[in-house]
Amino acid sequence: LAFTQFEACPGIVDLAWGHPPPSALPVDAWAESCTEALRAFGPRALTYGYANGPGPLVEWLCERLGRTDVRAPRPDEVFVTAGASHALELVCALLVRTGDTVLVDSPTYHLALRIIGDHTADLVPVPVDEDGIDPVGTERLIHHLRGEGRRIPLLYLVPTFNNPTGACLPPDRRGALVEVARRTGVTIVEDDTYRELAYDGTAPPSLYGIGDGYAVIRVGSFAKTVAPGLRLGWLNASAELVRRIAARGYIDSGGGVNHTTAATMAVFGSSGRYERHVTVIRALYRAHRDELVSVARREFGHSSCGVPGGGWFLWLRLPPGVDSTLLLPHAEANGVSYVPGARFYRSSGGNGRGYLRLSFSMCEPDLLAEGVRRLAAAVGSAPTGHFPKPGHVGTL
Ligand SMILES: Cc1ncc(COP(=O)(O)O)c(C=O)c1O
């Protein structure tokens, strides 16, 4: 029986999965925090927890977010969740009704599209250009869709170190988008999972902070900064919305969703272990990023990719006419894997097929370089069927 989600495939350099390497998982520091949490909180660490999350974690998190962003949430604006995925699931359960229209960025986190889609919403991509979401076009689209009688509760995006592109929405667009949300009443769901993994200075202010807590719900996670297996994250929303989440039957039934782990995280944070750990893994991922960018540009040309300022991913443009979806089996036969670009778009229509996502989180730098060399070899040796004529890519 399997134990973990990712199992390495022999012979394949896996640049598809966004997972941490074993060396970035703080086994000893977490074990110390478990012991300390049990000593400090005693049986209270093991009983049903407070619905919104244990006070010491909420307090520490507010303080931390105040230092890494422009606005510290108030404690009643925090709800501790079982990860960012769970936070998004909760928001959808509360705000999305069957048949609603949910607006999404493109390209965007492919599994968020699945989470939202599970709520039988109609996902509609908003207009984007090379800088990301176009706020003016988005407002126009909202009016147009409403004119058709559609209900639009949410707009989902990852504005900071986007998965898959690593890009940040520029500051002027952040402000403009928050204004659009305020004017139209469409709530922004800001997935802020990568805020702490900034490699060239600090992350830009969140939309949540710019909006001063209005019109934006922020979801966050300890999966990238501490460990995915904790299943621990949070959401920031108005106190009223947090109250509505806490009042849901299953929270009332089970209490805080991940109480013992959350209490341990409070100790991991307040003891200084979190700060030390994040400093170490930031340097590790920065070195991975630098290696991947340099080898990708060597193999595919300087303009094949930008430099992601944070997060775990590189968005690579393939040579003209190469289709990343068709190429994948050939690349895997050549010993490298990736996620095809089309997966990060709501509608197929050829979008993203000239791109692919490479993850630099898991592999050591020499393996990253080997993976990219294999990818370049796969592109160079792909059967001609993998190179649709220019112009055909969009219709495949
Ligand atoms: C943008 C984004 N949001 C959410 C998640 C999932 O977070 P969690 O493990 O906390 O559910 C990921 C993980 O890849 C992600 O990239």
CA of 84 to the centre of ligand 1 (A): 6
Cβ of 107 closer than 6 Å to ligand 1, yes or no, is: no
Statement: the pTM of the whole predicted model exceeds 0.85: yes
Amino acid in position 370: E
In sequence order, what are the residues at sequence separation of 6 or more whose Cβ sits closer than 8 angstroms to the Cβ of residue 339?
Answer: 16, 110, 164, 356, 357, 359
Return the best residue to mutate from 193, 257, 343 for the ligand 1 pocket (most ligand atoms within 8 A of CB).
193
DSSP secondary-structure letter at 348? -
What is the chain's pLDDT, residue by residue, as a tens digit (396 residues)? Answer: 899 888 888 899 999 999 999 999 999 999 999 999 999 999 999 999 999 999 999 999 999 999 999 999 999 999 999 999 999 999 999 999 999 999 999 999 999 999 999 999 899 999 999 999 999 999 999 999 999 999 999 999 999 999 999 999 999 999 999 999 999 999 999 999 999 999 999 999 999 999 998 999 999 999 999 999 999 999 999 999 999 999 999 999 999 999 999 999 999 999 999 999 999 999 999 999 999 999 999 999 999 999 999 999 999 999 999 999 999 999 999 999 999 999 999 975 668 999 999 999 999 999 999 999 999 999 999 876 555 544 443 332
Cα(26)–Cα(46) distance, integer angstroms: 22
CA of 232 to the centre of ligand 1 (A): 11
Cα(137)–Cα(7) distance, integer angstroms: 42
Angle at 214 between CA 96 and CA 312, to 5 degrees: 75
Cα(83)–Cα(346) distance, integer angstroms: 23
Cα(227)–Cα(83) distance, integer angstroms: 10
